[in-house]
Structures are given as structure tokens and as C-alpha cells.
């Protein structure tokens, strides 16, 4: 019997076989897991970017809804505090005490708002819509989308509106929302880079931010998207439509839900419904009759002209402040003087014991829309009146009612222009709506007095509703000033009704057409004054603008040398458009050496004796002989 002893090589072979078998098992296991996760990985690669984008839009909408709610709470608390302090002092026999309370608190808020804008973020001055339009167009504005801009503009708009002066927050919130979207895009990561780090994605994110800015102001998602398209973009990419709607709906939902809980808490837990910001209650059946449509059209014409006047006065007020030597000196070294004087003038005019008694008393401007949109009349007649409104506006009789509305209309129109020139964060959207609503209320009250039983004989049940005229006036004037049609949709969402669609659209279209004949929109006017790039609308029916070619606007190089002939100079003048602002022509040594000899005026070049003088003094003998031959 022979025993075989295992050798070293045998053991090595056994170990090698064992290693191979374990490696094969590991490879089989890894291939199984690879196949198992291959499907979900492919799905995630396909669905992941869309999911991240949805998450980005949801976070943007929720964030802006929370910011909007926070600013609303702060503004309401500031306004309530001022009103309580004033009413505590109004019983004092000394008028100066309530006057100081009424004026010094708002003036202090405006000065603080101007100070933080000047020293921390000058980019926040104004509404921000013209700058946002420039950013969407591809222009780079340093610091306009920074976190500091968001913080400073939010604080500034709380102080500005909380002062009770005629300011709105829609324009500033478009700017804030665009900046928030830009910053949020840097935080949403695709690996090592931001989701919107690529510059080609900037218009997409800014377009969504603009829509959210409008939606979180009035809870109007549809109107917000349309308004942002009209105001901030010249050519809109349809692919951004769903982004704007998705983010705007998220923002509007958050804002309405938060308002619901706040109002429910203030009403001691009573169950309330989620409703529009300024709800109207016009009857669903016959809120107006066809006979009233020409009146609405006439209102559109008048308000279109008024909007052109508003833009004209606003533009020239800003230009005067920019060009006047005294104002330039004050803005440079004593920046606080102008906001102090402007806010002091506004608060002094609206003092309730003065002219302010005809402007709603001690209530601030943001509460007026609810009263203008009411169904009831401001005179006691068969259609029913609101006694509380009559007390607020001192309208015990018809004449006082028209005096109050007339004074409010004129004064508020001018104060809105003055307030819009302050170097702070501000918006003019809401003040413009209130101005148009006041005019519409005047027209509606006048018609209701002329026809207390309605405009249709034998139908006393179909009466005049002045609130509808107020809604039409507000929409038409705001649409003409901003040059938008989507304001009609915003108004439907703002009031929660659409029964007056036809009057609103008729007035808005006519007002826009009339205003377009005389001026640019308020935002394009600001862009023009601030020298921001913008492309004005080109009338489709005009052939003048469509005949302009690149040669009319391009810079054409030209050289006039000592050895140039008169014919060559004439050819240069023919090539150059004589209407171009060329004030001087350079004369060089010769065509090969561009050494400047002299510059002469364009006027001299048209004089034969001047051409002869140039040739006689500078041209060579050969060139002079060529000139003589010609």
C-alpha cells in the first residue's frame, strides 16, 4: 500500500481553486445586485431631474407664501398700532398732539426704509420690475438677486406699507421672489453643481419667480403667471408655463390657508371659509345690462387718457429730481431730506382733521378697496345704502359724497406720483388700482342717482350696482398704466367673481389702446429713465419700423485723408446716414497712415469753400489736380 504525501504545489493548486470559486461566487452575487438595481437606477435617471424640479418649485412657492404672510402680519400690526395711538391722542383739545402722532411715525418709518436701502442694498430702490425684466432679457445686474437684497427689500416694504402711505407690494414681491428663486436654485444640487447654475436656465427660474411674486400677493396664480409674462418678457417660452403655474398655485395655496387660520383665530375659533382677498357679492343674474356697456367703454377712454397723464407726470417728476441742482446736492450729501419732506407732505395732507376727513378719515389706503367694491350705494335710496360707509366718508348727503370722492380722486392721484419717487422699496400696483376704483365709484354713484330704479323701464329689480363700476375702473386704469390685459384675470381672482367679465375686458382693452397712443407703460418708462435696456413694442400695422435694416443702426468706419478727393468725401457722406449724430470728422495724414491731423465739423463739410480750404491746405498736389479735373 502506497501513501501519497501532498506536496506544496498540490496545496497551492487547491488554494487557487478555492480562490477562483469564491471570486466566481462574488462576481455572480454582484451581477445579481447590478441587475436588480439596474431598472430603478434607469428610472431615477429619467425621473430624477423632473422630481428635483418639482421639489424646487414647491419649496419656492411655500417659501414665498410664508414670506408674504409674514409681511402681511407685520404691516397690519404697524397700521393697527398707528391707528390706536392716534385715537388715544385725538381726544386731546390740542390739535398738534394727534398731528405729530399722525405724521412723525410714518415719516420715521420712511426714513429708516430709505436708510437701510442706501447703506445696505441700493438695488432694492423702486419696485424691481424693470430690473427683473432686464435680468430675464439676459442683462447682468450686480447684487439684484442676492440674499441681502431679499432681506433688505422685505424689511423696506414692511416699513413702507406699514407707514400707511400709498404703496403696494406686488412689484417688490416680484423682485423678492425672483431673487429667492435664484438663490434657491444654487442650493438644489445636481451632484456638485446647482440645478440652475447654467446661465441658460436663468430665464426659466426667473419667469417662475415672477409668477410666484404676483400669486403670493393677491392669491392669484393664473393672473400671476399671465401678468409676469406680459410685464417681464418680450418672448415667452411655452415650456416655462407649467413651472409658473405650479409654483404660483403652491404659493397661493399656502397664503390662503395661512390667512384662513389667522382669520379663524381672530374670530375666536368660528369656522370660516377660504375666500378671496377682496370678495364681492354681485348677483349672478343681471349684474349689468347691455345699455351700460357704452358707459364702460367711455370709462375706458377716460381712464386711458388719465393713465397717460399719470405716466407723463411721473416721468417728468423723476427727471426733474435727477436734473435739478438742488435735488442732486440733497440726494448726494443729505439723502434723508427728500424722503422726509415727501412723506411729511403726504401725511400732512391726509391728516384726518384736515383734508383727510374727505379721504376716509383715520383709516389707511389699503382698506379702501373693500368699500369701493361694495354693492350698496353711498347715498340713501331704494337700492340700499351702507350706514358705516357713510359715516367713514362723511357722506350725509349727495353733495358731500361727491366732494369726498372728488377730493380723494385728485389728491390720491398726485400723492401716488409723489410717493413713487421716493428712494425706498415700493410698489404702485395697489395705489393705481385704488385710484381707478375711486373714479369708477364716482361714475357708478352718479348713474345710480340718475336712474335709482335702473336703466330698464318696468324692471325695478335690475338696479345699478356702483361696485361694478368701481371694479371696472380699477381694472381699466391699472391695465392702462401697466399696459397689461391680465389685470382683468387678477381682478377676477382678487374678488372671487367673474360675472362682470365683459365690462372689465371692454374697458381694459380700450384703456390700453388709448394709453398706447401717448406713452409707454410705467415699467418701460422707468427703464427708459434709468437707462435699462428694453425693447419697445413695434406696431404691427406700421411699415416704417419694418423697413429699418442693420445698416441703419450699425457703426460704419470711415476715413478722410489728406489725399482724399471731393468725390470720395461725397461717397462717405452718402454711405453714412446724415441723420446720425456725427458731430465731427477726423482727417488723417493719408490712407495708409492713420495719423490724426485735424477734426472738422460736419457743417463745414457741406460748404464748397470749406472743401476748397481743406484741399488747398492739406491735400497733396496730385490730389489737388484730381480735384480740379472733377
In this predicted structure, the answer to whether residue 383 has a pLDDT above a threshold of 50 is no
The predicted structure's pLDDT at residue 463: 79
Report pLDDT for 387: 62
pLDDT mean over 2-26? 47
Residue 317 pLDDT grade (very low, low, confident, very high; cuts 50, 70, 90): very high
Q: Write the pLDDT tens digit of every residue in 599-610.
A: 655 555 554 445
Of the candidate CATH numbers 3.40.50.720, 3.40.50.2300, 1.10.3080.10, 3.30.300.10, the domain formed by 46-266 belongs to 1.10.3080.10
Q: What is the pLDDT of residue 372?
A: 86
Q: Which residues contact 580 (CB under 8 A, 6 or more apart)?
A: none
Is the per-residue pLDDT at 9 higher than 60?
no
Average the pLDDT over 586-600 and give the result: 63
CA angle, residues 167, 170, 175, in degrees to nearest 5: 110
Predicted confidence at residue 382, as pLDDT, reads 45
Sign of CA dihedral 615, 620, 623, 625: positive
pLDDT of residue 184: 86
User: Which one is predicted more confidently, 413 or 567?
Assistant: 413
Residue 564 contacts by C-beta under 8 Å, 6 or more apart in sequence? 591, 619, 623
Task: For 618, list phi and psi in degrees, rounded to 5.
Answer: -120, -30
Q: In the chain, what percentage of residues exceed pLDDT 90?
A: 27
At 229, list the grid cell: 409674462
The strand pairing partners of 588, in sequence order, are 561, 596
Q: Does pLDDT of 143 surpass 80?
A: yes
| Class at the top of the CATH hierarchy for domain 550-629 | alpha beta
For the domain spanning 295-323+365-529, the CATH number is 1.10.3080.10
pLDDT at residue 284 in the model: 78
User: Per-residue confidence at 201, pLDDT binned at 50, 70, 90?
Assistant: low
DSSP one-letter string for 368-412: HHHHHT-SSBSS-STT-B-HHHHHHTT-SSHHHHHHHHHHHHHHH
Confidence at 192, pLDDT banded by 50, 70, 90: very low
Q: How confident is the model at residue 154 (pLDDT cuts 50, 70, 90)?
A: very high
Q: Is 454 left (phi over 0), alpha (psi -120 to 50) or beta?
A: left
- The residues facing 377 across adjacent strands are 385
At 86 the pLDDT is 87
Greater confidence, 578 or 130?
A: 130
DSSP state of 279: -
What local confidence, expressed as pLDDT, does residue 273 receive? 59
In this structure, how many other beta carbons lie within 10 angstroms of the beta carbon of residue 588? 18
Mean pLDDT in residue range 16-41: 52
Query: Cell 406700421 appears where?
Result: 542
Banded pLDDT at 189 (limits 50, 70, 90)? low
pLDDT at 312: 95
Indicate if the pLDDT at residue 385 is higher than 90: no
The residue with greater pLDDT, 573 or 483, is 483
How far apart CA 170 and CA 176 sit, in angstroms, is 10
Q: Which residue has the cell 438742488?
A: 326
- The model's pLDDT over 216-272, given as tens digits with 9 standing for 90+, comes to 888 888 888 888 888 887 766 777 778 888 888 999 889 888 888 887 766 665 555
pLDDT at 45: 58
Kindly tell me if the per-residue pLDDT of 384 is higher than 80.
Answer: no
Question: Residue 43 in 3-state DSSP?
Answer: helix
CA distance to 119, 152, 153, 160, 229, per residue, from 148 (Å): 12, 6, 8, 18, 26
Average pLDDT of 558-581? 65
Domain ranges of the chain: 46-266, 295-323+365-529, 550-629
User: Does residue 305 carry a pLDDT above 90?
Assistant: yes
What pLDDT does residue 392 have? 64
Closest CA to 564 of 582, 587, 580: 587
Question: What's the confidence (pLDDT) of residue 14?
Answer: 43
- pLDDT tier at 10, thresholds 50, 70, 90: very low
Confidence category of residue 3, pLDDT binned at 50, 70, 90: very low
Angstrom distance (rounded) from CA 501 to CA 488 = 8
Residue 26 has pLDDT above 60, yes or no: no
Model pLDDT, residue 1: 39
The x, y and z cell numbers of residue 337, run together, are: 431730506
- Tens of pLDDT along 29-79? 555 555 445 556 565 556 666 777 888 889 999 999 999 999 999 999 999
Q: Going by C-beta distance under 8 Å and a sequence separation of 6 or more, which residues neighbour residue 15? A: none
Q: Which of 172, 248, 237 is nearest to 202 (CA)?
A: 237
Higher pLDDT, 555 or 345: 345
Number of other CB atoms surrounding residue 31 within 10 Å: 10
Residue 12: which pLDDT band, with cuts at 50, 70 and 90?
A: very low
Please state whether the predicted TM-score (pTM) of the whole model is above 0.85.
Answer: no
- pLDDT on residue 509: 95
- Determine the pLDDT at residue 297: 94
* Residue 549 pLDDT exceeds 60: yes
Q: What does the mean pLDDT of the chain come to?
A: 78
State the Cα–Cα distance between residues 408 and 368, nearest whole angstrom: 11
Question: How far apart, in whole angstroms, are the C-alpha atoms of residue 80 and residue 86?
Answer: 10
Domains 46-266 and 295-323+365-529 share a fold: yes
Amino acid at each position: 500500500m502506497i501513501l501519497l504525501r501532498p506536496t506544496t504545489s498540490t496545496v497551492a493548486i487547491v488554494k487557487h481553486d478555492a480562490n477562483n470559486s469564491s471570486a466566481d461566487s462574488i462576481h455572480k452575487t454582484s451581477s445579481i445586485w447590478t441587475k436588480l438595481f439596474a431598472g430603478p437606477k434607469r428610472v431615477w435617471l429619467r425621473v430624477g431631474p423632473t422630481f428635483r424640479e418639482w421639489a424646487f418649485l414647491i419649496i419656492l412657492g411655500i417659501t414665498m407664501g410664508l414670506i408674504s404672510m409674514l409681511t402681511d402680519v407685520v404691516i397690519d400690526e404697524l397700521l393697527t398700532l398707528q391707528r390706536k395711538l392716534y385715537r388715544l391722542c385725538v381726544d386731546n383739545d390740542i390739535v398738534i398732539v394727534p398731528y405729530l402722532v399722525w405724521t412723525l411715525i410714518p415719516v420715521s418709518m420712511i426714513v429708516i426704509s430709505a436708510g437701510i436701502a442706501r447703506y445696505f442694498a441700493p438695488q432694492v430702490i423702486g419696485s424691481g420690475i424693470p430690473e427683473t425684466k432686464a435680468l430675464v432679457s439676459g442683462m447682468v445686474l450686480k447684487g439684484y438677486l442676492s440674499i441681502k437684497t431679499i432681506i433688505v427689500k422685505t424689511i423696506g416694504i414692511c416699513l413702507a406699507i406699514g407707514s400707511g402711505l400709498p404703496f403696494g407690494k406686488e412689484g417688490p414681491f416680484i423682485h423678492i421672489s425672483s431673487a429667492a428663486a435664484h438663490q434657491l436654485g444654487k442650493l438644489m444640487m445636481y451632484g456638485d453643481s446647482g440645478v440652475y447654475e447654467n446661465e441658460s436656465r436663468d430665464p426659466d427660474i426667473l419667469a417662475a419667480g415672477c409668477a410666484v411674486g404676483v400669486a403670493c400677493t393677491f392669491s392669484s396664480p393664473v393672473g400671476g403667471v399671465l401678468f409676469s409674462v406680459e410685464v417681464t418678457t418680450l418672448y415667452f417660452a411655452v415650456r416655462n408655463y407649467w413651472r409658473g403655474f405650479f409654483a404660483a398655485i403652491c404659493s397661493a395655496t399656502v397664503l390662503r390657508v395661512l390667512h384662513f387660520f389667522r382669520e379663524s383665530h381672530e374670530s375666536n375659533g368660528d369656522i370660516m371659509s377660504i375666500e378671496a382677498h377682496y370678495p364681492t357679492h354681485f348677483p349672478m343674474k343681471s349684474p349689468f345690462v347691455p345699455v351700460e356697456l357704452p358707459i364702460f367703454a367711455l370709462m375706458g377712454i377716460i381712464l386711458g387718457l388719465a393713465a397717460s397723464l399719470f405716466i407723463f407726470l411721473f416721468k417728468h417728476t423723476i427727471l426733474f429730481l435727477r436734473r435739478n441742482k438742488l435735488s442732486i446736492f440733497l440726494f448726494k450729501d443729505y439723502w434723508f431730506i427728500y424722503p422726509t419732506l415727501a412723506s411729511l407732505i403726504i401725511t400732512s395732507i391726509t391728516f384726518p382733521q384736515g383734508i383727510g376727513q374727505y379721504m376716509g378719515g383715520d383709516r389707511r389706503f389699503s382698506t379702501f378697496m373693500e368699500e369701493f367694491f361694495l354693492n350698496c350705494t353711498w347715498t340713501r335710496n331704494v337700492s340700499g345704502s351702507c350706514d358705516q360707509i357713510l359715516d367713514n366718508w362723511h357722506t350725509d348727503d349727495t353733495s358731500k359724497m361727491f366732494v369726498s370722492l372728488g377730493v380723494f380722486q385728485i389728491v390720491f392721484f398726485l400723492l401716488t406720483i409723489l410717493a413713487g419717487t421716493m428712494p425706498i422699496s415700493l410698489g404702485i400696483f395697489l395705489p393705481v388700482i385704488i385710484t381707478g376704483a375711486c373714479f369708477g365709484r364716482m361714475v357708478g354713484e352718479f348713474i345710480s342717482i340718475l336712474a335709482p330704479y335702473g336703466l330698464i323701464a318696468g324692471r325695478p329689480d335690475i338696479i345699478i350696482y356702483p361696485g361694478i363700476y368701481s371694479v371696472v375702473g380699477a381694472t381699466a386704469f391699472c391695465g392702462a398704466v401697466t399696459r397689461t390685459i391680465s389685470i382683468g384675470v387678477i381682478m377676477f381672482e382678487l374678488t372671487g367673481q367673474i360675472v362682470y367679465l365683459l365690462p372689465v375686458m371692454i374697458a381694459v382693452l380700450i384703456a390700453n389702446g388709448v394709453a398706447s397712443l401717448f406713452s409707454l407703460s410705467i415699467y418701460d418708462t422707468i427703464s427708459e429713465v434709468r437707462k435699462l435696456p428694453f425693447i419697445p413694442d413695434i406696431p404691427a400695422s406700421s411699415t416704417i419700423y419694418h423697413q429699418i435694416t442693420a445698416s441703419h443702426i450699425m457703426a460704419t468706419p470711415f476715413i478722410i485723408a489728406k489725399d482724399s478727393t471731393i468725390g470720395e468725401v461725397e461717397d462717405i457722406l452718402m454711405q453714412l446716414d446724415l441723420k446720425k449724430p456725427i458731430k465731427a470728422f477726423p482727417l488723417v495724414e493719408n490712407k495708409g497712415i492713420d495719423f490724426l491731423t485735424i477734426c472738422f465739423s460736419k457743417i463745414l463739410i457741406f460748404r464748397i469753400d470749406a472743401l476748397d480750404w481743406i484741399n488747398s491746405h492739406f491735400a497733396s498736389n496730385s490730389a489737388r489736380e484730381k480735384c480740379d479735373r472733377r
